[in-house]
Amino acid sequence: MGYFAFVAIGLATAFGFEVLASAVDPKNLTFKNPAWPIFVVVWYGLLYSISYATMRMRPVWVPAVVWGVVGTLLEAIIFKRLNIVVDPIIYGIMFAIPHAIYTMRAGKSSKA
């Protein structure tokens, strides 16, 4: 699995979590912004690109922990909102999913 597939899986994961967050959190304004498609692709595309470049060969728990912390800090600094319990869990899962798929795919291709 290459870079574009990794980012596409990440974007699909992030979109799913944004939909869920919009349904349960009235303070989530992602889909109230008319430019949300551009925002989601650029913002999460950047984050998943960084993750791919720096952590694709690490165990899945590493990007989960790193992005759990970094994502929570970004939420607090950039978006001026913070849920100290939920944000680390959500960001951790959002980044564990594409890394887990990447790791599974990499393992299959090395055994072939």
Each residue's pLDDT tens digit, 10-24: 999 999 999 998 888
- Please tell me the distance from the alpha carbon of residue 60 to that of residue 65, in angstroms, as a whole number: 9
- Please tell me the distance from the alpha carbon of residue 10 to that of residue 6, in angstroms, as a whole number: 6
The pLDDT of 51-78, averaged and rounded, is 95
Between 112 and 76, residue with greater pLDDT: 76
User: Which range marks the domain in which residue 10 is found?
Assistant: 3-107
DSSP string over the chain: --HHHHHHHHHHHHHHHHHHHHHH-TT--GGGSTTHHHHHHHHHHHHHHHHHHHHTTS-THHHHHHHHHHHHHHHHHTS----TTHHHHHHHHHHHHHHHHHHHHHHHHHH-
| 26 assigned to some structural domain | yes
Average pLDDT, the chain: 91
Identify the pLDDT of residue 112. 46
Q: What is the pTM of this model?
A: 0.88
**How many domains does one find in the chain?**
1
Asked if pLDDT for residue 92 goes beyond 80, the answer is: yes
| 112 assigned to some structural domain | no
